[in-house]
Structure 1
Amino acid sequence: MFNVFILFAEFFMLIGQIYAIVFEMCKQLIFPVKRKSVQGKKVLITGAGGCIGRELAIKFSRLGATIIVLDRNKHKGEETVAQVRQRGGIAFFFEVDVSNYAWVGDALDKVYQTVGPVDIAINNAGILNARPITRLSEEMVAETIKVNLLGQMWVTKQILPRMVAEKQGHIVAIASNSAIFGKTFLTDYSSSKAGVIGFMSALEEELRYEKKDYIKLTTICPAAIDTGLSAAVETRFPRLLPILNVQKAADIMIENILREEPFVIMPLGYKILYYILRNLPYKIEILVRDFIGNTVEAKPCD
């Protein structure tokens, strides 16, 4: 009897907590969460030699952050550093292949010795093949998983203890909405990014369980971005479900990072679509997807 009483007490406590959270969410619609400052903070970005990584580096630098560029392409990484410095910012480059666990460890050792503790780590490095699965070699699939998924895990695994030692930190994972919706010719890419979402979700639970949730986590699932990695086909409703340019995409990402949003689907149209589709029967979901358009063009044969 006593156990039943405890169960009911916990249930009503849960209901009260849910109402409190809903109230807080409604309040935030009127009074948005204040953006945290990155003035004087150190922001590490993997794959910062590429389009999105470089734009994030430049924009975070404008906000007063010191930028740590990690990339396996030395020329592109140093070019990002040069562009940040040309604008009056502070930036450092460290060459690393995030799929190589030992190399990641060595690079982070150098970062902490040279620049100091990292405040925000953005796992952005990624590759994309955009081919039918029948035209993907074993090596291509393995490389996609190693860079897109294992790369994020290796960086996180080795930077997390350092952040815990500092009692603060923020880890950001760039996933993709192709991990949520699925898109043609992105089987390997979608799989790797779905793994990122699962990894970050499990890590969040792990940190809460270990009372280390002072480490903030943000998972970002952007729609197609015009980076040249693939030829995304516009939907029938480009105003609602657009292909983002690099500048706009970086702005949305930074806004959500500074507000410490835990899970982000961007832009807004795709977030709305996600919550609609997840509650529809499968066959109706397929009809809706076909109606709006949801595909990527395959790259030509080599």
Structure 2
Amino acid sequence: MNAIDIIQILLNLLRLTLHILYHICQSVYYTFFELNEKSVNGEIVLITGAGHGIGKELAIQYACLGAKVVCLDINKQTSEQTAKEIKKIGIDAHAYQCDVAKREDVFAIAKRVKEEVGDVTILVNNAGIMPCHAFSDYTVDEIIQMFNINVLAHFWATYLPSMIKRNYGHIVALSSIAGVVGFPNLVPYSATKHAVQGMMDALEDELHVSNKGKSLIKFTTIYPYMVDTGLCKKPKINKMLGTFLQLSTPKDTAAQIIKAQRQNIRARSVPSFWLPLIKLVRILPENAHVVIKDFIDTGVEPS
């Protein structure tokens, strides 16, 4: 290695350091002064699991912001009911029955949506199931179905070809706090939500590399704690910390998801303090993690 090579390495390290410092300053700035929220007026937003809970609230709130909403749900009646409620406020919406666990169904609906509505520009992969049992009590069918809906459905419903062609779009996926840390009675569910996180991170990196840093397709992964949608049938909440650990409402959760998407935030927990707290705890020794988990003492009981 000659002197020129050494100088080149030092210059590259200096450039890297300056980039890192810039992004640190930017992050600190946006901690105190929030990012602007981009308009979704006229965007075509497709939401899976739009028949109830978070999905329904997402559909209604996106519609109120001027987006064209496409509601997908395995239950035809609830999907149509969501669209009907949106139409009552004078905004058009489209409803389709779709089992996101079935690749053929997803592709067939994608073709219909393109023909009848247009190219999806914002995709929200919201559909999911969460049976709560001790690990040994799960059936093979339950585990397979969880992976089909919670993970594989994200692969089938990407709507990436049209986004890549236009170099424009936004994909939002719902992971979970259980996709960052494990919870008792949620072992398969936690595994599926870890998988969602991995897929979103890798997919964003792949488009960044393949487009040489010029990809304009955005990714947002959401990590809810517990939401009052009926999936958490027996929440376990530490009474001492109950004020901070209450279940979020679907309406508030949807609002925070939309805000994160409109601000192009890559990862956001609901409530927002969870992800920073988890990152802070992970600096500590592993045995400290156990002590902190025991102190928080939250999760779900088997149902």
Q: Shorter-chain-normalised TM-score: which range? A: over 0.9
Alignment correspondent of 1:297: 301
Q: Tell me how far apart the structure 2 counterparts of residues 268 and 105 of structure 1 sit (CA, whole Å).
A: 34
Q: What stretches of structure 1 of length at least 5 have no aligned partner?
A: none
1:234 corresponds in structure 2 to: 237
* Match in the other structure for 1:178: 178
Query: Displacement, 1:50?
Result: 2.4
Per the alignment, residue 167 of structure 1 pairs with 167
| TM-score calculated relative to the size of structure 1 | 0.95
What is the CA distance between 1:4 and its match in structure 2? 2.5
Partner of 2:49: 47
Mapping 1:1-302, distance limit 5 Å = 1=2, 2-156=4-158, 159-211=159-211, 213-230=215-232, 231-235=234-238, 236-299=240-303
Give the AA of the match of 1:31: F
Aligned residues, how many?
Answer: 297
Alpha-carbon separation, structure 1, partners of 2:126 and 2:231: 14
Q: Displacement, 1:92?
A: 0.4
Task: Kindly provide the CA deviation profile for residues 207-240 of structure 1, in whole angstroms up to 9, marking residues without a partner as x.
Answer: 1001152000000111000111122222332333
Q: Partners in 1 of 2:131 and 2:40 — Cα distance?
A: 34
Contact preservation (8 Å) 1:72, 1:97? yes
Give the Cα separation in 2 of the matches to 1:208 and 1:292. Answer: 38
Shift of 1:243: 1.6
Instruction: Give the superposed CA RMSD.
Output: 1.3
Q: Distance in 2 between matches of 1:58 and 1:200?
A: 25
AA aligned opposite 1:131: H
Tell me if structure 1 keeps the 8 A contact 2:167–2:215.
no
Inter-partner Cα distance in structure 2 for 1:285 and 1:62: 42
Confirm or deny: 8 A CA contact 1:204 1:213 kept in the other structure: no
Q: Structure 1 pair 244/129, CA: closer, same or farther in 2 (3 Å)? A: same
What secondary structure sits across from 1:43 in the alignment? strand
Question: Are the equivalent residues in 2 in contact too, given 1:144–1:192 (CA < 8 A)?
Answer: yes
CA distance in structure 2 between the partners assigned to 1:64 and 1:57 by the alignment? 11
Give me the whole-angstrom Cα distance separating, in 1, the residues matched to 2:299 and 2:33.
37
Structure 2 unaligned residues grouped into runs of 5+: none
Report % sequence identity.
32
DSSP 3-state at the match of 1:287: helix
Q: Is the 8 A contact 1:234 1:243 kept in 2?
A: no
Aligned mates of 1:271, 1:191 — CA distance in 2:
18
CA shift digits 1:229-284 (9 cap, x unpaired): 12222233233333211111111111111111011122123123212221111111
Q: Check conservation: 2:47, 2:55, Cα contact below 8 A.
A: yes
Matches of 1:30 and 1:194, distance apart in 2: 30
Cα shift at 1:176: 0.4
Report the TM-score, using the length of structure 2 for normalisation.
0.94
Distance in 2, matches of 1:272 and 1:263, equals: 11
Q: Which amino acid aligns with 2:284?
A: L
